[in-house]
Structure formats: C-alpha cells, structure tokens
Amino acid sequence: MNGIFQLLEKYLMGPMAKIAAFKSVRAIMAAGIASITFTIVGSLFLVFNVLPTTFTFLQDFFNDTFFRISDLYLLVYKASMGILAIYFVIVISYEYTKIHQQEDELNVSPLNGALLAVFAFFLCVPELLFVDGKMQLLAASKTLNGWTIGGNGPDRLGTVGIFTAIIMALLSVKIYCFCVKRNFVIKMPEAVPEGVARSFTALIPAFAVALVVLVINGTFVLLGTDIFKVIAIPFAFVTDIANSWLGLMVILFLIHALWIVGIHGASLIMAFVKPILLINLQANINGEVVPYAGEFNNSFVLLGGSGATLGLTLFIAFLARSQQLRILGKASVAPGIFNINEPIIFGLPIVYNPYLAIPFFFAPMVSASLAYWAIKLEWINPIIAYIPWPSPAGIGAFIGTAGDWRASILALLCAVVAWLIYLPFIRMYDNKLYKEEQVAVQA
C-alpha cells in the first residue's frame, strides 16, 4: 500500500496540484460555486411545476390554480438555467481578472474584465452565414436576426453556451491584461473621477477584444461554421466520455485518488465536470435520459461525503469496539447525514490509511454503477433538478428526480451497499485499534 500511495503522490497528486494552482482553473471553480445558488432556486420552481407528472392526483388542482400563473413563476427557472452561460462568463472573467490583479500586481479592474468578457461572448451568440459572397445573419423558423430562440429564450445563453462562455472569458481577460502590461491603455489625469478613468482604461482593450473575436468568428463563418460550433466539437467529445459508465468510473477514481493523498478531490475534479452536469441536466429537462446529470454524485453516490461513508460513520458511532472510533463516529454522524465527512477522512483517518483505501475507492464506484444503470435502463426517472449537495440520503434523490419514490429507495440501497463494502475492512481496523487500546490500558 505504501508503494501505491507513493505512485499516487508522484503521478497524480503532483500534476493535479499544479493544475489546481492555474489561475484559469481557480476562476472556473469559482464560477461553478457561484452558479449553485441560481441553479438550485430555478430547479425548485421547475420541480414544483412538474409535480402533477409524478403525483397525477394533483393534475386537476394544478390546472385550476398554479398552472394559471406558471408563465410567471417559471421565469425564475428561465432566468437561472435559461441564461446560465451569462453567469459563467461574468464570474470567470471577474475572478480571473481579480487573480491577475492581486498576484501579478496589474492595474486591472475586475469589473472591466467582466464587462469585456460579456462583450466578447455576445459577439459570438448571433449565428451568421456566408452566402453569395456576403455575410448575413441567419433567419430560420426559430431564428430572428441571428438569434435562435428556444423555450427558455435565446438558446446560446443557456447551458449550450457554457463552454463558449468559459473560452471567451479567459480570452478577453488575457487580452485585457496584455494591453495593460504593454501600456496599451488611455491614462486619464488623477483629477478625473475613478469611474470615468476606468471606462477610458478599458477602451483600447475593448477594441482589441472586438477585433480578435470578430477575426476568429469571421474566419470560422467563411469556413461554414462559427465559434460556438467549433468549441462544441472537442467539448462534445469530452462530454460523451464523461457520460459513459467508464468515464464516470474514471472521474470517481480521480476524486478519491486525490482524497487518499490529502487533496480535496471533489473540489478539483468537479470544477471541470460541473459544466457537463449542467448541460446534461438541461438535456434531461428536454426529455432525454442522461444518468450523469445535476447532483448525481450527492444524490446516489457520495452519501455521507466522498467515499460514500454514511454507513461507515453510523457503524463506528454505534457498533465499534474501539473507544476512539466510537467517539469520532458520534461526533461525525450529524455532518455525515448532510454529506460532510472531513472529520472522518482526516480523523479516522482515511487519508494514507491502508486498511480503508480499498473500500474508499470501490464503495462509490459500486453505488455509482447501480444508479447509472438504474437511470440508463429507465427503472427510475433521470435527474431534472439541481439540489443542494448537503441533502440527506433519499431526500436529494427524491427532489432531483421530481418526486420519484423509487429514486429514494435506490439512494438508500446505494448507502447500504457502500456500508457492506466497508464492513470487513472497518472491522479489521476497529479490532486493531481496540487491541492497541487494551494494551495501553494494561500497561
């Protein structure tokens, strides 16, 4: 096991720690966290609206009451998931500029960085065609002046546009910082108000952003495509891999391989995966069946926290022979119910613990496999709502699937299966600690 830990440290911990330190990665992580509030609020209104689909006896009541004003309250959903790419482009660019400002000591404004990124993003949204030697805005049945409209508004402002939002945010901030570094800015006298001076400082960078984005997008239009479609190609490939069962296993392996050597694997890996989960969530809302969507992990897999430790926590709290495990378990039950298990990971510990490393990897993989195939085979409804990640076992799955009671049963089954995987290993570890305590008492 020591050899395995050394391999993980050398080939996984080192490279991943370097990736986590990248300015761009930290900015993307911040966007994922910032979007949680809006996705949860919007999803709850959507779940409320589809309740009669699950509980059919509510249909007539909803027809006579809530459905009369559904166009009003569903605006909450459309103003969250419907324009999610805008939230991403604002937060990523703001945080990315702020990081450059603080760490590179550049005289840049996070507000200017965010505005420039929104500017760059919207330059890419309308669709163009090159016909008869002329560029013109697309005008199809659902497209007006280049703006393709879906059920929630302009399609490209929603989850479809997340990857383009990420690229445009990073590109525009890089151009902004380059201009400031090279002094390609208009400097105003100190007597000029700060807001006015800030606007003029961003003037040349704005021209530069516009020129770069127009040249790139114009080139793609000449080739019969555009930035959105080009960016979608590699990200669609990555999305397809992540959506496979094997891809899901790789993601969970990376999360727990980082945890086992002391790095918060969930925060790092999920920063890259979250945009994919949001896109899949929207696909399920549109009628598709994609297992790995929304809070799949916290609904079915990571019950009790990373490693699926809910059953483990309950076992050591009430059935452990070792006094130290029992005390730790009782202190960890309450946070464990809400999927918080840092006390277990670092207090048991699981980190660098050869007794518990194997079940720490396998318990979430088995749970994820059960849930993945249950959704894939349509034994339960797919996830269509984003839930708060601390939702207790069964409750999160119930809400996320819009009230499917079978999902709650599956979540509890996953927790039991994970506990059974831990059982022989924790018993062995418990007996070891118990014997050590008895030796200490006798001494």
Helix (H, G, I), strand (E, B) or coil at 144: strand
Phi then psi for residue 189, to 5 deg, are: -60, 155
Is residue 163 classed exposed, middle or buried when 0-12, 13-18 and 19+ CB atoms within 10 A define those classes? Answer: buried
Instruction: Give the integer Cα–Cα distance in Å for 79 and 73.
Output: 10
Give the whole-number percent of the chain exceeding pLDDT 70.
94
Q: What confidence tier does 141 reach under pLDDT thresholds 50, 70, 90?
A: low
Backbone angles phi, psi at 287, to 5 degrees: 110, 0
With beta carbons less than 8 A apart as the criterion, state whether 128 and 226 touch: yes
Domain ranges of the chain: 18-230, 240-442
Q: Alpha-carbon dihedral of residues 95, 98, 104, 107, nearest 10 degrees?
A: 140
Residue 80: partners with Cβ closer than 8 Å, 6 or more residues away: 38, 39, 41, 42, 43
State pLDDT tens for residues 159-205.
889 999 999 999 999 999 999 998 888 877 776 676 677 677 888 99
Exposure string (b/e) for 243-277, b if CB count within 10 Å is 16 or more?
A: beeebbeebbbbbbbbbbbebebbebbbbbbbbbb
| Residue 382: cis peptide before it, omega within 30 degrees of 0 | no
- Tokens, residue 312: 């483990």
Q: HEC string of 237-289? A: HHHHHHHCHHHHHHHHHHHHHHHHCCCCHHHHHHHHHHHHHHHHHHHHHCCCC
Phi, psi of 169 (to 5 degrees): -65, -50
In this model, does residue 6 exceed pLDDT 80? no
**Which of 243, 268, 233 shows the shortest CA–CA distance to 254?**
268
Find where tokens 């006390």 sit.
Answer: 343
Q: In what order do the strands lie in the sheet with 143-144?
A: 143-144, 147-150, 153-154
pLDDT band at 347 (very low <50, low <70, confident <90, very high): confident
∠ CA 66-67-70 to the nearest 5 degrees? 90
Report residue 1's pLDDT band, with 50, 70 and 90 as the boundaries: low
pLDDT at site 443? 78
Tens digit of each residue's pLDDT (9 = 90 or more) over 246-277: 999 999 999 998 888 777 788 888 888 989 99
> Contact, 308 vs 323, CB < 8 A?
no
Q: What single DSSP character describes residue 303?
A: T
> Is residue 329 over pLDDT 60?
yes
d(CA 94, CA 116): 10
Q: What mean pLDDT comes out for the span 370-380?
A: 96
Q: Tell me the whole-structure pTM to 2 decimals.
A: 0.84
Highest mean pLDDT among 13-22, 192-201, 274-283: 274-283
The answer to whether 414 touches 375, Cβ cutoff 8 Å, is no
Q: Give, in order, the Cα–Cα distances in Å from 223 to each of 5, 146, 399.
A: 50, 17, 45
Give the span between the Cα atoms of 28 and 14, in whole angstroms: 20
Helix and strand tally (H, E) in the chain? 21, 5
First vs last Cα of the chain: how many Å apart? 31
How far is it, in rounded angstroms, from Cα 266 to Cα 254? 9
Asked whether residue 311 carries a pLDDT value surpassing 80, the answer given is yes
- Ranking 58-62, 95-99, 196-200, 241-245 by mean pLDDT, the lowest is 196-200
Q: Which of 209-223, 251-265, 316-330, 392-406 has the lowest mean pLDDT?
A: 251-265
Q: Calculate mean pLDDT across residues 33-41.
A: 87
Are 344 and 305 in contact by the 8 Å Cβ rule? The answer is yes
Token pair of 103 as six digits: 């760490």
DSSP secondary structure string for all residues of 183-247 = T-SPPPPTTS-HHHHHHHHTHHHHHHHHHHHHHHHHHHHHTT--HHHHHHHHHHHHHHHHHSHHH
